[in-house]
Amino acid sequence: MFNIFASNLQNRIIFVFVVALLVPAIVTSVYNISSSREALLTSAKLTQIQTTNVNAAAAERLLANPKSDLLFLSQAPQVRRYINNASSGNTATALRDVQSLFQSFLGRTSDLYSKSCLLDASGLEIVCVSVIDGKATVLQPDDLTNRGNDSFFSKTVTLTSNVTNQAPVYISKYSLVKNDDTEIPVLHYASLLQSDDGTIAGVLMVEALLTPIFDLVSQTSADQEVYLVDTDGNYLLNPDSSKLYGNIRGINISLLSEYPNDAEEILSRRDGNLLSSQDQPNSLQAFVRIKPAGQATIQWTLIYKEPLDNILGSIRSTALVIVVITGISLVFAILMTLVLTRAIVRPIKILAKAANDISSGQEDTPLPQVTTQDEIGMLINAFNEMVQQVNTRTQDLRLATARAKEAARVKGEFLANVSHELRTPLNAIIGFSDMLLMGMSGELNPKQRHKMERLKENGVRLLTLINNILDITRIEARRVEIVNKSFAPRALADRLSEQMSVLAERNGLEFKTHIDPQLPETLISDEQRLEQVVVNLLSNAFKFTEKGSVTLDFDVDADGSNWRVIVKDTGIGIPPHALNVIFEEFRQVDGSSSRAFKGSGLGLAITRNLVRIMDGYIAVESELGQGSKFTVTFPLMSREKINIEALEKVEAS
Amino acid sequence: MSLNWEKITEWEVLLVDDEPDNIEVVSESLEFYGMTVKTAENGEIALDILEDEWLPNIIMLDLSMPVMDGWATLRRLKSDPKTQDIPVLALSAHAIIGDSERAINAGFDGYMTKPISVPTLIQDLRKALKYRSNISEDLSPQPSETKDETAL
- How many other C-beta atoms can be found within 10 angstroms of the C-beta atom of residue A547? 10
Tens-digit pLDDT profile for residues A303-338: 888 888 877 877 778 788 888 888 888 888 888 888
Distance from CA of A556 to the nearest CA of B (A): 24
Contact A599 B149 (CB under 8 A): yes
A631 pLDDT higher than 90: yes
Q: Which of A424, A471, A603 sits opposite B93 (nearest CB)?
A: A424
Contact B151 A601 (CB under 8 A): yes
- How many other C-beta atoms can be found within 10 angstroms of the C-beta atom of residue A170? 25
The 8-class DSSP code of residue A440 comes to B
Contact B98 A424 (CB under 8 A): no
A596 pLDDT higher than 50: no
DSSP string, A192-215: EEE-TTS-EEEEEEEEEESHHHHH
The percent of residues in chain A predicted with pLDDT above 70, rounded, is 91
- To the nearest 10°, the Cα dihedral for A20, A25, A31, A35? 160
* Signed CA dihedral, A581, A582, A583, A586: sign only: positive
Residue A632's pLDDT is what?
Answer: 93
How far is it, in rounded angstroms, from Cα A17 to Cα A11?
10
Q: What is the CA radius of gyration of chain A?
A: 67
- What are the backbone dihedrals phi and psi of residue A510, each rounded to the nearest 5 degrees, phi first? -95, 135
Best of B26, B28, B97 to substitute, by most chain A Cβ atoms within 10 angstroms, is B97
Sheet holding A617-623, edge to edge: A510-515, A549-556, A562-569, A627-635, A617-623
The percent of residues in chain B predicted with pLDDT above 70, rounded, is 80
Residue B140's pLDDT is what?
Answer: 38
Q: A367-479 belongs to which CATH class?
A: mainly alpha
The residues with which A183 forms a beta bridge, in sequence order, are A178
CB A566 within 8 A of CB A557: no
Judge: domain A481-652, CATH 3.30.565.10. yes
Burial of A333 (0-12, 13-18, 19+ CB in 10 A): middle
Residue A399's pLDDT is what?
Answer: 94
How far is it, in rounded angstroms, from Cα A289 to Cα A228?
9
Least confident residue range of A2-6, A240-244, B55-59: A2-6
What single-letter amino acid sits at A554?
Answer: F
Q: Which of A428, A463, A471 sits opposite B97 (nearest CB)?
A: A471
B135 pLDDT higher than 50: no
Closest CA to A567 of A631, A649, A481: A631
Closest CA to A236 of A3, A376, A63: A63
Q: Which of A430, A531, A536 sits opposite B150 (nearest CB)?
A: A536
* Signed CA dihedral, A83, A85, A90, A94: sign only: negative
Closest CA to B23 of A509, A510, A624, A435: A435
CB A603 within 8 A of CB A539: yes
Contact B149 A460 (CB under 8 A): yes
Pairing of strands B58-62, B88-92: parallel
B-contacting residues in A 484-513 (Cβ below 8 Å):
487, 491, 499, 503
B141 pLDDT higher than 70: no
Residue A425's pLDDT is what?
Answer: 87
How far is it, in rounded angstroms, from Cα A439 to Cα A452?
11
Average pLDDT over residues B42-53: 86
CB B29 within 8 A of CB B77: no
Total residues found in chain A within this entry: 653
Residue A630's pLDDT is what?
Answer: 93
Chain B residues interacting with chain A (CB cutoff of 8 angstroms): 19, 21-22, 24-26, 28-29, 32, 64, 93-98, 101, 114-119, 138, 140-143, 146-152
A190 pLDDT higher than 60: yes
Burial of A189 (0-12, 13-18, 19+ CB in 10 A): buried
Tens-digit pLDDT profile for residues A357-395: 888 877 777 777 777 778 888 888 888 888 888 889 989
Contact A420 B93 (CB under 8 A): yes
CB B113 within 8 A of CB A550: no
Residue A6's pLDDT is what?
Answer: 61
CB A613 within 8 A of CB A475: yes
CB A35 within 8 A of CB A355: no
Q: Which of B97, B119, B151 sits opposite A540 (nearest CB)?
A: B151
Tens-digit pLDDT profile for residues A49-107: 888 888 888 888 888 888 888 888 888 888 888 877 776 767 777 788 888 888 888 88
DSSP, collapsed to helix, strand or coil, labels residue A171 as strand
Chain A residues whose CB is inside 8 A of the B150 CB are 464, 468, 535-536, 539-540, 599-600, 602-603, 606
Cα–chain center distance at A317 = 31
Q: Which of B25, B64, B97 sits opposite A435 (nearest CB)?
A: B25
Residue B145's pLDDT is what?
Answer: 39
Chain A residues whose CB is inside 8 A of the B152 CB are 540, 543-544, 582, 588-589, 593, 597, 599, 601, 603-604
| Domain boundaries defined on chain A | 367-479, 481-652
How far is it, in rounded angstroms, from Cα A98 to Cα A83?
11
CB A489 within 8 A of CB A515: yes
**A549: Cα within 13 Å, side-chain hemisphere:** 9
CB A507 within 8 A of CB A542: yes
Contact A600 B96 (CB under 8 A): no
CB B104 within 8 A of CB B111: yes
How far is it, in rounded angstroms, from Cα A23 to Cα B81?
100
Contact B152 A589 (CB under 8 A): yes
Residue A598's pLDDT is what?
Answer: 47
Pairing of strands B12-16, B36-40: parallel
Contact B151 A543 (CB under 8 A): yes
End-to-end CA separation in angstroms for chain B: 43
How far is it, in rounded angstroms, from Cα A211 to Cα A184?
8
How far is it, in rounded angstroms, from Cα A252 to Cα A247?
7
Residue A223 contacts B where some CB pair is shorter than 8 Å: no
Residue A594's pLDDT is what?
Answer: 43
Mean pLDDT of chain A: 81
Tens-digit pLDDT profile for residues B74-133: 998 888 888 888 889 888 876 566 677 788 888 888 888 888 888 888 888 888 887 454
The percent of residues in chain A predicted with pLDDT above 90, rounded, is 6
Average pLDDT over residues A265-291: 84
What single-letter amino acid sits at A375?
Answer: E
How far is it, in rounded angstroms, from Cα B132 to Cα B141?
10
Tens-digit pLDDT profile for residues A500-555: 888 888 888 889 899 988 888 888 888 888 888 998 899 888 888 888 899 999 99
Residue B39's pLDDT is what?
Answer: 92
Distance from CA of A540 to the nearest CA of B (A): 6
Contact A428 B140 (CB under 8 A): no
- What are the backbone dihedrals phi and psi of residue A218, each rounded to the nearest 5 degrees, phi first? -80, -5
DSSP string, A89-137: T--HHHHHHHHHHHHHHHHHHTTTEEEEEEEETTSBEEEEEEEETTEEE
Least confident residue range of A240-244, A469-473, B28-32: A469-473
User: What CATH code is assigned to B8-130?
Assistant: 3.40.50.2300
Contact B64 A420 (CB under 8 A): yes
Residue A118's pLDDT is what?
Answer: 85
How far is it, in rounded angstroms, from Cα A44 to Cα A150?
45
DSSP, collapsed to helix, strand or coil, labels residue A226 as strand
Higher pLDDT, A565 or A17: A565
What single-letter amino acid sits at B29?
Answer: S
Residue A463 contacts B where some CB pair is shorter than 8 Å: yes
Contact B115 A431 (CB under 8 A): yes
- How many other C-beta atoms can be found within 10 angstroms of the C-beta atom of residue A570? 20
Residue A606 contacts B where some CB pair is shorter than 8 Å: yes
- How much of chain A is helix, strand and coil, in % rounded to 5? 55, 20, 25
Residue A337's pLDDT is what?
Answer: 81
How far is it, in rounded angstroms, from Cα A392 to Cα A409?
26
How far is it, in rounded angstroms, from Cα B125 to Cα A228?
142
Interface A-B, measured as beta-carbon pairs within 8 A, has a size of 138
Residue A119 contacts B where some CB pair is shorter than 8 Å: no
Residue B132's pLDDT is what?
Answer: 52
Label residue B142 by pLDDT band (50, 70, 90): very low
Pairing of strands A549-556, A617-623: unpaired
Average pLDDT over residues A129-147: 81
Residue B152's pLDDT is what?
Answer: 41
Chain B residues whose CB is inside 8 A of the A461 CB are 149
How far is it, in rounded angstroms, from Cα A236 to Cα A230?
7
- To the nearest 10°, the Cα dihedral for A380, A386, A390, A396? 130
Interface confidence (ipTM) of the complex? 0.78
Residue B2's pLDDT is what?
Answer: 62
A165 pLDDT higher than 70: no
How far is it, in rounded angstroms, from Cα A19 to Cα A247?
63
Residue A332 contacts B where some CB pair is shorter than 8 Å: no
* Signed CA dihedral, A447, A452, A453, A458: sign only: positive
